[in-house]
């Protein structure tokens, strides 16, 4: 298994430099790679039978399930077919598809395209689904993202379409045996992992018994706002109440209709690295770029040395220019001849035949506002903004977000930068890390009064994170599980919930949970993790996405707790070090089971969406590597490996590198279709 792990690591790097086809030829589909998996499966079977693991049904079921899954993968590799089927409207029915090698493969039935259409999010140009209505063997079927068609063992998936929208490209797979065997393995694995926690006399139960129940501690969240510099205070700016009114306008931004406040916040974050500029809110900053450009163009943008002279620097300067010219403000909705709403800014090309009064309104209103602002006639500016708001409500009522969702997004914009919580969480986590380490080493318990106070504050942190996540969920209309910001906040939430659930029984979880929460919120606060709300790609709308991401993020959070416990364990000896080892073991079992469950749920989702449950994508491969690396300490009692607490702690510290590569390294270095996640 160790050789397999190293080989998979090498394969992902090889793929980066030599390409996917060669990586499959020399690694993933090579006889050596397949033989290594076979040897691992057979030797594992021999071991569990010789160790009489079959006496423990859940443990035996877990290991047998893994062998069944590998058998299913081998059957799929040897017997399955896959390829593409290109259909055109009014063309003869197709009776063959093209496989991956470019050869035609006959179908036992005919397939024809009846219609193809693209559905859009309300009021947006962003597609929400691609839908092909086809006739397969005389039966009408609807194929869309996450909705496949089946016939005689063949499965058809929406893969692509022709630019003229008169043709659809379907992915085709035929896997009559391997798919069923693999799914049977998944089901057995899920049931066995669940049953494991009810099984008596396991290493998990023994470690749990050795740990006593003791109370624990948490943190207070306070920070002082930074004073603005004198130069910032001297800048002319739109009054806050007028800027807030302007931020309440609807704008078409990032393929969706949202409050102009959202655009202002994103622009300000990109330009200055924070959602304000000194005492000025994001709405004041961006509206002042328009009204007072000559003054504000002298304010230095946040540009790193590595960004100077690059596209990144030009992009940030371009944002200021777009706002200064009015190009950024697509706030004027106009319906076309079909009734479809398009959004326009005052500088772009307007529809031909637009009546003169409306043309003047779109072209001149912002310029008139600028003239009134120069005279500081803010009442008139406010009246003009109200006129635009009334126009939007009159012309685009059918595509404007509901009032409650609109307010939720504005509230989210105001609280979603966790600067204060992460600073305090990290600070308190470090302090508690030292204090709890000293108390544990001396065999003492933390003061009960301190534990209770900190437990209350842990609840406040969890409530804040829950509010942010729920608001983002409601404001976007989609589950908040895609993108670096959402995932980092989710990990912080998981750590805080784990803290609340475990602090009474496992006091050492507290400083570890604080550090995990703090560092993940720190990652979410970085300007590079700009938390823009956007519509999800159609394939990401599957409900399995939520289960997959949540399982993976909880497991990563638990692995982080184990890693921090390992660092603490290096400074302890004797019983204290053994206690930390037992705590890490108790955390590792659910962590490994969750990453296993999340990985295979992801495989099911992939199979439903695009017809392949495993593609050796770098992130898939590294998730498997992480799973295997962390499965080794779970066998330390049987194998006599890592029984020494110090060796165990060193291993868990080094093992966390696999988590970092899986989540960050793949995104930054290795690429692949999961590199956005």
* Domain presence at residue 130: yes
pLDDT at 612: 75
Are 379 and 439 within one domain?
A: no
Token reading at 14: 């090889």
Are 444 and 522 within one domain?
A: yes
174 vs 231 pLDDT, higher one: 174
**Gap between the Cα atoms of 1 and 320, Å rounded:** 54
* Domain presence at residue 182: no
* Domain presence at residue 181: no
Token reading at 252: 């078409």
Per-residue pLDDT at 675 exceeds 60: no
Tens of pLDDT, residues 311-338? 667 777 888 888 888 888 999 999 887 7
**Gap between the Cα atoms of 493 and 417, Å rounded:** 14
Are 41 and 144 within one domain?
A: no
Work out whether strand 104-120 and strand 94-99 pair parallel, antiparallel, or are unpaired: antiparallel
Tens of pLDDT, residues 597-643? 989 888 888 887 766 778 888 888 999 999 999 999 988 777 777 88
**Gap between the Cα atoms of 377 and 607, Å rounded:** 61
Are 527 and 648 within one domain?
A: no
| In the chain, % of residues over pLDDT 90 | 27
Mean pLDDT value of segment 114-126: 79
Are 310 and 424 within one domain?
A: no
Are 265 and 377 within one domain?
A: yes
Token reading at 423: 């600073």
Mean pLDDT value of segment 44-56: 84
**Gap between the Cα atoms of 226 and 228, Å rounded:** 6
Are 424 and 363 within one domain?
A: no
DSSP letter for 183, please: H
Are 48 and 134 within one domain?
A: no
Are 58 and 85 within one domain?
A: no
Are 489 and 509 within one domain?
A: yes
Token reading at 80: 């399955």
What phi and psi values does residue 142 have, to the nearest 5 degrees? -105, 125
pLDDT at 231: 41
Name the residue with tokens 């079909």.
338
What pTM did the predictor assign? 0.65
Domain boundary among 536, 567, 592: 536
Q: For residue 370, what are the contacts with CB-CB under 8 A and spacing of at least 6?
A: 290, 291
For residue 257, CA distances in Å to 125, 410, 438, 549 come to 10, 13, 54, 27
**Gap between the Cα atoms of 182 and 170, Å rounded:** 24
**Gap between the Cα atoms of 172 and 94, Å rounded:** 13
Mean pLDDT value of segment 71-98: 91
Q: Which domain holds residue 364?
A: 235-400
* Domain presence at residue 193: no
Lowest mean pLDDT among 67-81, 542-556, 631-645: 542-556
pLDDT at 207: 77
Categorize the per-residue pLDDT at 5 as very low, low, confident or very high, splitting at 50, 70 and 90.
very high
Domain boundary among 510, 536, 562: 536
Q: Coil, strand, or helix at residue 342?
A: strand
Q: Coil, strand, or helix at residue 33?
A: helix
Total domains, the chain: 5
What phi and psi values does residue 149 have, to the nearest 5 degrees? -115, 145
8 Å CB contact between 653 and 660: no
Are 258 and 396 within one domain?
A: yes
pLDDT at 593: 92
* Domain presence at residue 189: no
Which one of 199-213, 418-432, 547-561, 650-664 scores highest in mean pLDDT?
A: 650-664
**Gap between the Cα atoms of 624 and 605, Å rounded:** 16
Are 421 and 542 within one domain?
A: no
* Domain presence at residue 185: no
* Domain presence at residue 434: yes
Categorize the per-residue pLDDT at 455 as very low, low, confident or very high, splitting at 50, 70 and 90.
confident
CA 361 to chain centre: 42
pLDDT at 537: 59
**Gap between the Cα atoms of 115 and 142, Å rounded:** 10
Categorize the per-residue pLDDT at 414 as very low, low, confident or very high, splitting at 50, 70 and 90.
confident
Lowest mean pLDDT among 190-194, 345-349, 541-545: 541-545
Q: Where does 71-126 show beta strands of DSSP type E? A: 81-88, 94-99, 104-120
Domain boundary among 536, 553, 571: 536
Mean pLDDT value of segment 564-592: 85
């Amino acid at each position: 298994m160790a050789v397999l792990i190293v080989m998979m690591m090498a394969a992902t790097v090889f793929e980066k430099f030599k390409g996917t086809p060669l990586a499959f030829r020399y690694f993933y589909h090579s006889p050596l790679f397949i033989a290594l998996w076979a040897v691992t499966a057979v030797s594992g079977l021999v071991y569990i039978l010789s160790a009489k693991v079959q006496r423990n049904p859940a443990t035996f079921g877990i290991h047998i399930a893994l062998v069944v899954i590998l058998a299913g993968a081998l059957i799929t590799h040897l017997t399955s077919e896959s390829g593409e089927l290109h259909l055109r409207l009014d063309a003869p029915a197709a009776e063959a598809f093209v496989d991956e090698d470019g050869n035609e493969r006959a179908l036992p039935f005919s397939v024809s395209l009846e219609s193809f259409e693209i559905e859009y999010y309300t009021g947006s140009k962003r597609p929400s689904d691609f839908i092909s209505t086809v006739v397969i063997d005389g039966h009408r079927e609807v194929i869309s993202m996450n909705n496949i068609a089946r016939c005689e063992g063949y499965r058809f998936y929406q893969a692509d379409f022709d630019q003229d929208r008169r043709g659809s490209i379907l992915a085709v797979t035929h896997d009559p045996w391997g798919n069923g065997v693999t799914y049977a393995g998944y089901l057995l694995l899920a049931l066995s992992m669940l049953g494991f926690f009810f099984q008596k006399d396991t290493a998990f139960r023994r470690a749990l018994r050795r740990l006593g129940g003791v109370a624990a501690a948490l943190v207070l969240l306070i920070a002082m706002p930074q004073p603005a510099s004198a130069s910032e205070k001297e800048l002319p700016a739109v009054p806050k109440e007028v800027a807030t009114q302007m931020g309440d306008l609807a704008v078409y931004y990032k393929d969706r209709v949202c409050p102009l406040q959202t655009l202002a916040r994103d622009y300000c974050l990109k330009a200055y690295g924070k959602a304000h500029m000194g005492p000025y809110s994001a709405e004041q900053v961006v509206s002042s770029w328009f009204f007072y450009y000559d003054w504000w163009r002298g304010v230095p943008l946040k540009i790193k040395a590595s960004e100077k002279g690059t596209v990144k620097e030009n992009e940030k300067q371009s944002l200021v220019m777009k706002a200064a010219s009015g190009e950024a403000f697509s706030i004027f909705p106009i319906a076309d001849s079909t009734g479809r709403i398009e959004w326009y800014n005052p500088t772009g090309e307007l529809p031909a035949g637009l009546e003169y009064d409306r043309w003047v309104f779109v072209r001149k209103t912002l310029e008139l506002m600028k003239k009134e602002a120069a005279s500081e006639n803010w009442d008139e500016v406010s009246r003009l903004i109200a006129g635009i708001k009334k126009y939007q409500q009159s012309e685009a009522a059918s595509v404007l977000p509901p009032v409650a969702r609109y307010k939720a997004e504005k509230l989210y914009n105001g609280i979603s930068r966790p600067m204060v919580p992460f600073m305090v969480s990290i600070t308190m986590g470090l302090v508690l890390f030292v204090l709890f380490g000293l108390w544990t080493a001396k065999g003492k318990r933390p003061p009960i009064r301190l534990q209770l106070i900190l437990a209350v504050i842990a609840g406040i942190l969890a409530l804040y994170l829950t509010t942010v996540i729920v608001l983002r969920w409601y404001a976007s209309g989609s589950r908040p599980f895609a993108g670096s910001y959402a995932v980092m906040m989710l990990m912080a939430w998981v750590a805080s919930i784990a803290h609340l659930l475990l602090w009474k029984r496992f006091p050492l979880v507290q400083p570890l949970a604080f550090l995990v929460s703090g560092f993940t919120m720190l990652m979410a606060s970085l300007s590079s993790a700009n938390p823009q709300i956007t519509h999800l790609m159609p394939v990401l709308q599957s409900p399995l996405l939520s289960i997959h991401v949540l399982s993976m993020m909880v497991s990563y959070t638990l692995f982080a707790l184990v890693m921090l416990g390992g660092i603490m364990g290096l400074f302890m000896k004797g019983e204290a070090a053994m206690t930390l080892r037992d705590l890490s073991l108790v955390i590792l079992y659910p962590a490994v089971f969750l990453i296993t469950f999340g990985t295979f749920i992801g495989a099911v989702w992939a199979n439903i969406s695009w017809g392949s449950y495993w593609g050796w994508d770098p992130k898939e491969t590294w998730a498997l590597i992480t799973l295997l690396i962390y499965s080794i300490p779970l066998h330390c009692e049987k194998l006599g490996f890592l029984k020494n607490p110090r060796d165990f702690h060193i291993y868990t510290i080094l093992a966390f590198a696999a988590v970092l590569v899986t989540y960050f390294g793949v995104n930054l270095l290795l690429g692949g279709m999961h590199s956005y996640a």
